Chains A and B, each alone.
Chain A
Amino acid sequence: MSERGRRTGVASEVVVLLFSLLVVGGFVAVALWMSNSTADSDIAGLEMTFDIDATIERDEGFFVPYAITNHTASGVAAAEIWIEVFDGERMMETAEIRVEFLPVESRQEGLYVSRFNPADYEFRGRLESLLYP
């Protein structure tokens, strides 16, 4: 192999290796960063939000989109959550939903069908139990 060809060969190997180190190093860096950022998370940090503005009224019912996000430090194998509808301090409606599996920082979206218009009533989510994998 000529001197020039040998140099090209070495350069190509070095470039490929550097790119590979960048990919693997990037993976390791992100994993370490995520490991630090999730270590201090709330042990029961499931967050439930209702998208009131996107509610659809149909057949005398209100389809209210909701999202449950897992801010805990580990995945959730199962969780039972109560959706409660309040008129002031008086509970008007209640229903249980079950989350089957929710990884860390993942979100599950769904629709809750209520008899009450979320524009006039307060919708709350209450965590009842949580099961870790």
Chain B
Amino acid sequence: MLRTVHQRTTRAKSNRDWSAQIRDGVRGLASGFLVGIPVVFTVDTWWLGDQLSPDDSLLLVLFAYALTLAAVYWIGFRRGLRKGWEHWADAVEALALAMVVLLVVYLALGQLGPGRSIVTILGRIAVASSPVALGIAIANHLLPRDARRYEPDPGDAAALRKTGLLRSIDRFWMETAAAIAGAGFLCLSIVPLDDLSAIASNVPLGNLPWILVMSLVVSYVIVYAAGFAGESKRQHWRGALDHPITETILAYVVAILVAWGCLMIFGRITIDSPATEVYVKTVLLAFPASMAAAAGRLAV
């Protein structure tokens, strides 16, 4: 007797409890940071924001929403099938996340204090909201949940080279190299423009420890708290170098060294530069560099 089997396509069910909401949000934030922070570290973005009228800011945010809606429709940052009004809601959430991120970043950079008008703050957020919101909206593509950090696709060079289980020390060197590559890639796109000098002169010295702490927290979030595949495996490693906190700090040290090296290579600092100038520029540049280093480690 023949029996017809109707095979149904399976779609990932959207798990919409609180933990899923938070994970999707954090993953979106990680992606938004990666795409948007280099834009924030361009002083032209600041100046452009300073010149905007409130009406211009509104228009720009409207444009950012339209762009985000399109990206959310095709890619998105939430798990599961989204439909109808959920796309509109997701775009609002991505835009809101972007605004909160930018508020926090500008606050850390000391750009929301006395002497700054509300119009300036609105303008700066409006200018940078498009890239950050877009970064959040494409999180499923940029930082896919099912990415395998240590199980490359068959045929990849990494898979062909791999003959057995990687030892902990091998993983360490692989990740360090990836962090250097990621941080170097970003530093080389920022340092030659010398926007950093203008930004460094605008950021109060007392804000740098906050920037340092934020660099560490965001790096940790990108690699460990955003719900990527392999994350649970990483958190179970018990080597001294494999602990999430140790690894995050080591990756930050790598970002600092790469930032310092790039500044030296391009002559933005020299051996004779005052220690304060070296400190300010290096810590500032290490902020986006640490995120790129985290992205590099994810790409391994």
Contact = CB atoms under 8 A, between A and B. Distances in A.
Q: Tell whether A pairs with B.
A: yes
A88 interface: no
Contact of B51 (A35, A73, A103, A107): A103
A79 B81 CA distance: 55
B92 A21 contact: yes
Contacts of B130: none
A13 B82 CA distance: 12
Interface in A9-33: 9-10, 12-13, 16-17, 19-24, 27-28, 30-32
Contacts of B117: 103-106
Given A12-B21, A31-B57, A75 B99 contact: no
Given A5-B17, A13-B16, A27-B125, A20 B92 contact: yes
Interface string B11-28: 001111110110001000
A105 B55 contact: no
A5 B14 CA distance: 12
B124 to A, nearest CB: 9
B269 interface: no
Question: B16, B21, B95 — which one has the most chain A CB atoms within 10 A of its CB?
Answer: B16
A28 B58 contact: yes
Q: Describe A's contact surface by its main secondary structure.
A: helix
A20 B95 contact: yes
B93 A12 contact: no
B297 to A, nearest CB: 29
B119 interface: yes
Given A23-B99, A35-B55, A106 B50 contact: yes
Interface residues of A, number: 36
A1 B16 CA distance: 10
A8 B17 contact: yes
Contacts of A106: 50, 115-117, 120
Contacts of A23: 96, 99-100
B17 A12 contact: yes
Contacts, number: 101
Interface string B36-63: 0000000000010011111101100100
B51 A75 contact: yes
A104 B92 contact: no
Contacts of B123: 103
Contacts of B50: 75, 101, 103, 106
A104 B25 contact: no
Contacts of A21: 92, 96
A34 B56 CA distance: 12
A77 B116 CA distance: 16
B227 to A, nearest CB: 15
Nearest to B19: A12
Interface of B: 13-18, 20-21, 25, 47, 50-55, 57-58, 61, 65, 89, 92-93, 95-97, 99-100, 115-120, 122-123, 125
21 contacts: A9-B14, A9-B15, A9-B16, A10-B16, A12-B16, A12-B21, A13-B21, A20-B93, A20-B96, A27-B122, A31-B55, A31-B57, A31-B61, A38-B53, A73-B53, A77-B51, A101-B50, A104-B117, A105-B117, A105-B120, A108-B115
For the complex of A and B, 8 pairs with smallest distance between CB atoms = A105-B117, A9-B16, A20-B96, A23-B96, A35-B54, A103-B50, A104-B119, A34-B54
Interface of A: 1, 5, 8-10, 12-13, 16-17, 19-24, 27-28, 30-32, 34-35, 38, 73-75, 77, 101, 103-109, 133
